[in-house]
Structure 1
Amino acid sequence: MDGVTTDRTEERTRAALQRRLEDVVRENRFTIAVVFPAIGALTLLASAEGLLPEPLSYNPLLILFGTAVMRSPLVVGLLPRIDRRAAACLAVLTAYTYAIETVGVRTDWPYGAFEYTIQLGPMLLGEVPVALPLFFIPLVLNAYLLTLLVLGERADAALVRLPAAVAAVVAIDLVLDPAAVAIGFWAFESGAYYGVPVSNYVGWAISGVVAVVLVDLAFDRAALLERVRTCVFVLDDLVSFVLLWGTVNLLYGNWIAAGVAGLFCLGLFRTDRYDLEMVKTALPGGS
């Protein structure tokens, strides 16, 4: 009986913590999804243009903190669906993320010759950011979730669902990399697409296949969809991504990349969860 009582106490504690986390995210949706990416775009632009003092310019702690805050809706939204199978698959994906990036930095394959031009926090072996999974894995999850919602019943077919999700992952990088190059996060030796070579997108397609398959294996899709449909803020991280990197692309005249960001906006609108009424309720003091 003591064991049963302990288990029930732990379940109630976890449920209470989950409710509290959801309340915090829900009450601060506008700040997380709009204010943080707006401030991020301005500070990154100011850093790139040499307008910030040294302690603030490209400050890795600020970058990591801002990224973690913008990721919080996705993380909190998916927490109830992280069981042992999901944790194991995400752990494999984390290891793969480090491995493929290390190979890329050392060999120029599969992304092409590139280098980090600033430190995005502590660097593993002095080569790749320790926080790399925080940057990459949520992008894959966002692409996968948006694909499921947009495709609807067509997502039941793996031959439709998986290629579409991989294409969404590559499309995310069509937005990310030109903006990251523009503000000086990393640089390629050359590239026809706003300084980014085609080989980079071949690499993202390879990484995307592995990542999407692991994410697809990680979750019970029906339970995941139910959670996504009932959790109003779970895709807010994608909203932050579009606002931050779409704005940077606009400011630097990367029009195609900005247009792809606009397509993600259309995809978000198709989920029927982002409209004027949502904006009103997400504003501070909204109900």
Structure 2
Amino acid sequence: MASVELPARGRLEARLDELVVENRFTIAVVFPALGAVTLLASAEGLLPGPLSFNPYFLLFGVAVMRLPLVAGLAPVFTRRAAAGFAALCGYTYAVELVGVRTGYPYGAFEYGIDLGPMVAGIPAALPLFFVPLVVNAYLLSLLLFGDAARRATVRVPVVAAAVVGMDLVLDPGAVAVGFWAYEAGGLYYGVPWLNFAGWVLSATVSVLLVDAALDRERVLGRLESCRFMLDDLVSFVILWGTINLYFGNWVPAALSAAYGYGLYRTDRFDFPER
């Protein structure tokens, strides 16, 4: 029987899957481990100028670590999803612009290193940093809460809480390595509590947008068949867990380990032998 050729989109999705599967350990473990070492070496002044906090190396590394999430979502990414994610990106820029100009809702802060091209004082790649946190929290919560997550009254607050929890890990590590600094400091490892109140707002809005954009049943089906779909969260745990441990940020490090345990509960640590 003659084989049926996949349409162009199907071929691209299949190739992305193949690329991630063939390089899964490198993408999900080696890249974040090297990223942590590089960021720490930069923070300690151990790298020469051109390499220290090099924004293009940084963006390249982040983009590579996002590949499993991109490949995982590709088959369930519809026009509705595209519209919803476009709205989420727009919200991400808007709330960051307000934050930079007014100090609300995250607290007054300044970027400390070059995070790539800037637009109106905001990193152009901002959605690349923020949107995956929301999606990873969404996917993890769907798996961990099972049938209970079918109810929006459970799903939305649980995912929003998971997003805020990720910021409780990320922000102290980012402050420690010098990504940004809050003008008034803060009791939580240099981060003001106003920042997390702002994240409650942003997380809730973002989760509502993601929930409206994605077909949950199709996403659940893809999660069941795609073993690497949460590998970006594995990278998050390794990268920010390592950085927080290095600086003695014990609460963020423990929270990072909690996300690692959540991943363990979903039975996702199954990197194939090469």
2:230·2:268 contact (CA, 8 Å) conserved in 1? no
**Structure 2 residues not aligned, in runs of 5+:** none
Q: Within the alignment, does 1:180 sit opposite 2:174 as a pair?
A: yes
Within the candidate set 52, 74, 78, 2:73 is matched to 78
Q: Within the alignment, does 1:90 sit opposite 2:80 as a pair?
A: no
Q: Within the alignment, does 1:69 sit opposite 2:61 as a pair?
A: no
Determine the C-alpha separation between the residues in 2 that align with 1:143 and 1:197: 23
What SS class does the counterpart of residue 139 from structure 1 fall into? Answer: helix
- C-alpha offsets along residues 83-120 of structure 1, whole Å, 9 cap, x if unaligned? 11000000000000000001001100000111101120
- Equivalent position of 1:58 in the other structure: 53
Give the drift of 1:269.
1.0
- Equivalent position of 1:149 in the other structure: 143
- Equivalent position of 1:4 in the other structure: none
When the two structures are superposed, what TM-score results if normalisation uses the length of structure 1? Answer: 0.92
Letter in 2 for 1:188: Y
- Equivalent position of 1:257 in the other structure: 252
What SS class does the counterpart of residue 137 from structure 1 fall into? Answer: helix
- Equivalent position of 1:39 in the other structure: 34
- Equivalent position of 1:232 in the other structure: 227
What SS class does the counterpart of residue 72 from structure 1 fall into? Answer: helix
What SS class does the counterpart of residue 69 from structure 1 fall into? Answer: helix
Over the aligned positions, Cα root-mean-square deviation in angstroms equals 1.1
What SS class does the counterpart of residue 19 from structure 1 fall into? Answer: helix
Q: Within the alignment, does 1:161 sit opposite 2:155 as a pair?
A: yes
Give the drift of 1:266.
1.0
When the two structures are superposed, what TM-score results if normalisation uses the length of structure 2? Answer: 0.97
Total equivalences in the alignment:
270
Q: Within the alignment, does 1:111 sit opposite 2:106 as a pair?
A: yes
- C-alpha offsets along residues 14-70 of structure 1, whole Å, 9 cap, x if unaligned? 211211111010010100001000100000001101110000000000000000000
Determine the C-alpha separation between the residues in 2 that align with 1:197 and 1:203: 10
Determine the C-alpha separation between the residues in 2 that align with 1:17 and 1:167: 34
- Equivalent position of 1:123 in the other structure: 118
Give the drift of 1:228.
1.2
Q: Which runs of 4+ in 1 moved over 2 A?
A: none
What SS class does the counterpart of residue 272 from structure 1 fall into? Answer: coil
Letter in 2 for 1:232: R
What SS class does the counterpart of residue 110 from structure 2 fall into? Answer: strand
Letter in 2 for 1:210: V
